[in-house]
Amino acid sequence: MPGVAVVGGSLGGLTAALLLRDIGCDVTVYERSRETLQARGAGIAVLPETLRYPVERLGVPVGRITSSTEWIRFLDRGGSVRHAQRHRYRFSSWNTIYGTLLGAFGAERYLLGRDMTSFATDGAGDVRVRFADDDEVRAELLVCADGIGSVARAALLPEVGARYAGYVAWRGTVPERELDGPAFEVLHDALTYQVLPGSHVLVYPIPGPDGAVGVGDRLINMVWYRNVAEPDLPALLTDRDGQPRPVSLPPGSVRDELVGEFRSSAAALLAPPIAEVAARIGQPFVQAVFDIGVPRMVFGRACLLGDAAFAVRPHAAAGTAKAAEDGWVLAAELEAAGGDVPQALAAWEAAQLALGSRLLERNREIGDSSQFTGTFRPGDPRLIFGLHGPGR
Ligand SMILES: Cc1cc2nc3c(=O)[nH]c(=O)nc-3n(C[C@H](O)[C@H](O)[C@H](O)COP(=O)(O)OP(=O)(O)OC[C@H]3O[C@@H](n4cnc5c(N)ncnc54)[C@H](O)[C@@H]3O)c2cc1C
């Protein structure tokens, strides 16, 4: 089996690294961040594909790394239930899944502070990968899992730009036990939505900072999609030190006047239980929403995986599932091809391009229906999360 360099050590890169190592590849992960990644993205709704490695390969009980809810509820502005349906969802936090995967992969071949700057194929068919510190490594397969701002994508497909979707997500978490009784009652066992003109907000419980999943020990996670005209985006994404950021502002870096505007808008517009969550979030943070889709994922012995290839809007809650699925299919194809990298990548690309394109389009439709066309309806079956389709 080939020697593999995985660039980007988040959920997509780590899942691929584990799966490729399982089939006998010699795998090293190169992650740009200098420290073990922390608290990224707060809560995530998780689909079976995201949990598949921990559950199937590591034998982790699903209830140990996820919280779950039994209901989907839509509240109106006054807090009354507009629509309710029984549906079980699972949620986790980026940290919980990351910690589980990294614990399994181990630190020895997970190299921090390695910022890939370029790569090239040499005459022998190897890929030479270059880093910011001028170091160079060789691999027979390069997996670029370097996320939405992928250096690899920018170099290989300079014509593929990130298309701003016209809105951002305001996010944050609150310890569940800090909520007052009525808000806790409404929110603790549901994915709770509120639909507003040109906007929607979701609230759900996720594991606590230490991974605790018991009711009362968890965090309540909020994601509020709000339209921001493109010319106003750079000002919003300028942090409290005056530094412009391309995609997101992490917790603690949003300017005070914008946090104030978030809190006053939440008090004026949101149903009381959701407004209480917004009021109690210590450090709300912001992520802009983009559409990115590529026409190719394979370039010789290098491939783009996860958000590096397709960064889709979050409405199907399938971003980490798609990144994980890219890894599962890659390992299966490589095994089926007896370690022949070009043969495996050709089969892989056809399937994963189709999956990414479908998901991109589905999420775009859902997002536009909420933010722009006013056709986002409580109970619409298209809103059920899923990687391959609603509920699938
Ligand atoms: C508002 C919002 C809500 C979301 N909600 C959900 C949800 O509920 N459920 C869900 O499944 N998904 C959700 N997502 C999507 C999810 O966060 C992404 O799809 C997922 O993180 C992609 O994983 P990845 O490993 O491909 O990339 P990333 O997580 O972006 O990781 C890329 C990694 O590569 C590293 N890197 C970058 N450049 C280099 C370089 N040059 N050299 C070395 N390393 C590098 C980075 O430091 C990072 O660790 C949401 C996204 C947004 C914006």
Residue that is written with structure tokens 């419980």 in the block: 205
* Residue ranges of domains in the chain, CATH in brackets: 3-35+112-161+292-365 (3.50.50.60), 68-89+165-290 (3.30.9.60)
Q: Whose CA is nearest to atom 37 of ligand 1?
A: 146
Question: Does the beta carbon of 371 lie inside 6 Å of ligand 1?
Answer: no
Cα Rg of the chain, angstroms: 21
pTM of the predicted structure, to 2 decimals: 0.96
Ligand 1 atom with minimal separation from the 148 CA: 30
The pLDDT value recorded for residue 40 is: 57
> How far, CA to CA in Å, does 65 sit from each of 92, 207, 277, 367?
6, 7, 23, 28
Q: Whose CA is nearest to atom 20 of ligand 1?
A: 320
The pLDDT value recorded for residue 182 is: 92
Q: Whose CA is nearest to atom 23 of ligand 1?
A: 12
Between helix 94-105 and helix 11-22 the angle, nearest 10°, is: 30
Ligand 1 centroid distance, CA of 274 (Å): 26
Ligand 1 atom with minimal separation from the 289 CA: 53
Distance CA 95, CA 284 (A): 17
Q: Whose CA is nearest to atom 25 of ligand 1?
A: 12
Tokens of 45: 């709704």
Q: With left for phi above 0 and alpha for psi between -120 and 50, is residue 2 left, alpha or beta? A: beta
Ligand 1 centroid distance, CA of 147 (Å): 5
Question: Does the beta carbon of 287 lie inside 6 Å of ligand 1?
Answer: yes
Ligand 1 centroid distance, CA of 319 (Å): 8
- CA 108, chain centre distance (Å): 25
385 contacts 49 by C-beta, under 8 angstroms: no
Distance CA 59, CA 343 (A): 32
Mutate to test the pocket of ligand 1, among 6, 32, 233 (most ligand atoms within 8 A of CB): 32
Tokens of 164: 């701003």
Name which of 2, 19, 6 is nearest 325 in CA terms.
Answer: 19
Our CA angle for 227, 232, 234, nearest 5°, is 115
Reading the chain (392 residues) residue by residue, the pLDDT tens digits are: 999 999 999 999 999 999 999 999 999 999 999 987 766 557 899 999 999 999 999 999 999 999 999 999 999 999 999 999 999 999 999 999 999 999 999 999 999 999 999 999 876 789 999 999 999 999 999 999 999 999 999 999 999 989 999 999 999 999 999 999 899 999 999 999 999 999 999 999 999 988 899 999 999 999 999 999 999 999 999 999 999 999 999 999 999 999 999 999 999 999 999 999 999 999 999 999 999 999 999 999 999 999 999 999 999 999 999 999 999 999 999 999 999 999 999 999 999 999 999 999 999 999 999 999 999 999 999 999 999 999 99
Mutate to test the pocket of ligand 1, among 146, 199, 310 (most ligand atoms within 8 A of CB): 146
Q: Whose CA is nearest to atom 49 of ligand 1?
A: 10
75 contacts 274 by C-beta, under 8 angstroms: yes
Question: Does the beta carbon of 30 lie inside 6 Å of ligand 1?
Answer: yes
The pLDDT value recorded for residue 191 is: 98
> Which residues contact residue 200 at a Cβ distance below 8 angstroms, ignoring those fewer than 6 apart?
193, 194, 224, 225, 370, 376
The pLDDT value recorded for residue 36 is: 77
The pLDDT value recorded for residue 237 is: 98
Task: Give the three-state DSSP class for 49.
Answer: helix
Ligand 1 centroid distance, CA of 223 (Å): 16
Ligand 1 centroid distance, CA of 148 (Å): 7
Ligand 1 centroid distance, CA of 307 (Å): 6
The pLDDT value recorded for residue 121 is: 80
